[in-house]
Amino acid sequence: MGIQGMELFAIGVVIILFMAVLKQFGILEPMSSFEDDSSDSDLELSTVRHQPEGLDQLQAQTKFTRKELQSLYRGFKNECPSGLVDEETFKTIYSQFFPQGDATTYAHFLFNAFDIDRNGSIRFEDFVIGLSVLLRGSVTEKLNWAFNLYDINKDGYITKEEMLAIMKSIYDMMGRYTYPCVRDEAPSEHVDKFFQKMDKNRDGVVTIEEFIETCQKDENIMNSMQLFENVI
């Protein structure tokens, strides 16, 4: 995979892999498979440890319809009876998809991007709001979400160290065969190319403004942002 391809992969991989996980584990079912069920209308389940916000509030916060939210919630509660997903569960799910590699670190970064409250668990609200951005959000909203994934310490900047950690986690997840022969420095090369393109003022960090401006001028990245809008 070339430098350009790896950059696009790093930006788009979160959507592709997350959708694959959802479908594989039955969390994302075809919308036509569920009728409007009044028993789920308030998105409440008496046995769960965490009860999500009401349907009307989530519908206002996302770009999903009432029926889509009901479908998503039914799949979520079937797979997560407690109403919460912890990081170990996330890692277990991804490890089953990538047995030839180590998905632990990438799953950690992705989990943190969904864990809005930073409390060590993903609620249905966190899940569905993030999914709404990835699938139905504007280009700017999607890029903001991607920036948040790369900004590991959430200080508003992407450093070379953070981008290198993300790149290495992707290589590790896909398996060592992704490294070019006798060129284990490949992730560093990708990071250098990334910063050469993104770091406009050459101060060693990439801001959200630099990130969005550069991505919006890249036709390939813009095209990749449109690939998943009709997944559900």
Asked whether 208 and 147 are in contact (CB, 8 A), the reply is yes
Host H or E run for residue 181: none
**pTM of the predicted model as reported, rounded to 2 decimal places:** 0.75
Short-list 58, 28, 26, CA closest to 41: 58
Q: Where are the beta strands (DSSP E) in 14-116?
A: 84-86
Q: Residues 173, 177, 180, 183: is their CA dihedral positive or negative? A: positive
Task: Tell me the CA distances in angstroms from 23 to 75, 137, 175, one per residue in order.
Answer: 10, 20, 23
Q: What are 167-200's pLDDT values in tens digits? A: 888 888 877 555 554 345 577 887 888 898 899 9
- pLDDT tens string 141-161: 988 988 998 999 999 999 999
- H helix or E strand, kind and range, residue 158: strand 157-159
**Domain annotation for the chain: domains and CATH numbers:** 3-43+51-225 (1.10.238.10)
CA dist., res. 173 & res. 124, Å (int): 26
